[in-house]
Chains A and B, each alone.
Chain A
Amino acid sequence: MVDLSVHLAGVTLKNPIIPASGTFGYGREFADTYDLDILGAFSWKGTTRDPRPGNPQPRIAETASGMLNAVGLQNPGMEAVLREEVPWIAEHFHGPVIANVCGFSLEEYAENCRALEDAEQVKILEVNISCPNVHAGGKNFGSDPKSAAAVTRAVRAATKKPVFLKLSPNVTDIAEIARACADEGADGLCLINTLLGMRIDLNTKRPLLANRTGGLSGPAVFPVAVRMVWDVYEAVPKLPIIGCGGVDSAGAAAEMLLAGASAVEVGAANLRDPWACKTIIEDLPGVCQRLGVDKISDLTGGAHHGE
């Protein structure tokens, strides 16, 4: 028997597999495909204070081994999520919920975290800092250490729940951002979010996405994510990392753990194969046996040792 359980800042997950924000809605679409209780946790759609309609069509473009999305944080807003989604989740999933929260100002980040304080099932706040700061000309909070630190400080003061900052890969030195978040009391980090990209439509000679740019995800980004998890693990070895980006198999999940992750999020793979997380979870014991561990948590950071 392989022990698949892992720990994230005091929260126990029965296995390290977590559907990533934006690819799992609030869980409803997957409840008919498999029993949600097989999951370690799930991260819900990035939620803002106000409802957001998102970007105009088209919002999706295919790429080699992946996709671009420019959904634009479409979500029903925090109040509707608390009223309609949280009670539904309580009935259909009994593990820890990771609440992905976004904001366009420091105040909004703090407010969104406070709003979830009484949502008991929400065990971790995953703070998406790839959001434009309306007070700084739309520059992303995640794009420099100062603003990433400012968000961490604001959310740390607003909640007792563990906060994991979800880092953007669109930076020169992700380790520097990770350190800035750690210094302000982040309980953990999640990485990576999508890589900024673009496709041009040869028929119109214009960008394919109405938003022009979109976020790249899927197997194409996997090696970038593994490298960034590696760098962040070296920079802040004490903080638990949720590794994310291009994971589509139990083997890829194991690579993330070996690079330094304590748990693994699966994003775009869910869209191509709605049963992706179930298959990965079922394949994990076999991969652990092959790697010679009887506790999957022993894999975390394994690639850094024994050099």
Chain B
Amino acid sequence: MSDYFSLYKTMLLIRRFEERLLAEFSTGKLVGTTHTYIGQEADAAGIFSVAGADDVIFSNHRCHGHFLAYGGDPYRLAAELMGRATGLVGGRGGSQHIQWRNFYSNGIQGGIVPVATGMALVEKAQKTGNIALVFIGDGTLGEGSLYESLNIAALWTLPLLIVLEDNHYAQTTPSEKGVAGSMTGRFAAFGIPVWERETADVLEVRLAATEAIQRVRSGAGPACLLLHTYRFSAHSKGDDPRSPEELTRIRQFDPLNVHAKRLPSAEIEQAETEVAPVVNDAFARADADPFPSLRDY
């Protein structure tokens, strides 16, 4: 099934891209920080397979997977991460601050949610039929501006989908130490319906995303897609307090393995063969590109 294949390929592209990224850090080609999406690929692949082409996306610090699933160019992303003039934003933004078409990201937890709310307002005012999607993590439930936005989005019936990816940790802080009470209850208080899934299955994510997006697009106001998931790598680089046992346990929920069972082995090989040169080419081309200079401005 080509549809299953393309979901798999999207997830594989994210996985191989992020693995390569981490490898490039050890060779010193990359500086600064990065937050990889390894383990969470089913979320982005599922959501972007059903999001509208003109929907507006606001992503967070962990944005590479979202961007690749959105259809962004791996080469321009690699160039941005390597600080090249050809990067998505000319090397000015780096890993957490990218922009392309209707895709935006920023590295301030919570602060992006009111911005996405304003974007949703514009789509509603201009009757485009598009919606805004904003990505947050469990740790971002601690930020006040999130709740200001939920209140406003609900009061004004705005077409906003909040995608809450609960990977059980905020940097090193487990959600038991960062999130009191109930996650869904937070949205319920504003009358915002929640689609909640605990899954590494891209098809389940896709189904829930379809329903949530449909609801938001219908004009009924904001909704939340709450996805419980796992990140397999460190928060950024080398900041992982989790035990080897815990890492082994969560690696059972690998979205690639879950979905691979549906594909013939030839297609799995085909996906590898198609993705490998894309990733290689992205990093190799980016590596040959010039660094930006202040003189250019």
Partners in one complex: no
